[in-house]
Amino acid sequence: QVQLVQSGADVKNPGASVKVSCTTSGYMFTTYFMHWVRQAPGQSLEWMGIINPSGTSTTYAEKFWNRVTMTTDTSTSTVYMELRNLRSEDTAVYYCARGGDEPNSFEYWGQGTLVTVSS
Amino acid sequence: DIQMTQSPSSLSASVGDRVTITCRASQSISSYLNWYQQKPGKVPNLLIYAASSLQSGVPSRFSGSGSGTDFTLTISSLQPEDFATYFCQQSYITLITFGQGTRLEIK
């Protein structure tokens, strides 16, 4: 079965960077793009960007384009999302999410990674 | 970006009620509209994709309709496990956007 397993919760100081991993299994990694979505406490879902499996093509939401980098490691079927220059409003649960038959509808989700930004 | 507006923001209903949630896009998105259910502390769950296609394993009391800019999610007969928050999402363009959510509460 398809599984997306994310790295654990993290606490960062303002101005620091965080890198969240999403290790996949149960399907051919090279077949599906991966998205990242975040959810601040009590808020809606916010799409951050998408990366192709080889890591050669990314599209980021304008809000994050100069602070986020998404990468892949095909040898371990893992996708990474790094967010730099963190501020308190970046406190959120970060999800990796993969499409199914409809590539941009999110059939599979990681369990989420809580990133807390606090001094 | 395409803005997605859901209404209502919250809704109180009783078990057995028929409930409709609406989602409006700021421009036409054809049928590129998906619906998710999220319970507190849990990961979102895809209910409906492409406006009206029921995701595998989702009960048939859930249905979706609409095209262009106006869409609806209908729950034909509310069950206790349906009390949750529902989000719409457009996938018409790669710059994906979500609605603000509709919280469905027990009356």
pLDDT at A117: 98
According to DSSP, the residues that pair with B24 across neighbouring strands are B5, B70
Kindly report, residue by residue over B24-66, the tens digit of the pLDDT.
999 999 999 999 999 999 999 999 999 999 999 999 999 999 9
Please, are residues B86 and B33 in contact by the beta-carbon 8 Å criterion?
no
A89–chain B Cβ distance below 8 A for any pair: no
Report CA dihedral (A89, B93, A24, A96) to the nearest 10 degrees. Answer: 10
Partners of residue B1 in chain A, C-beta under 8 Å: 62
Q: Is the Cβ pair A50, B94 closer than 8 Å?
A: yes
Tokens of B93: 């363009």
- Mutation target among B94, B102, B103 for the A interface, most CBs of A within 10 A: B94
- Residue B55 is classified by DSSP as P
For residue B83, pLDDT over 90 is answered with yes
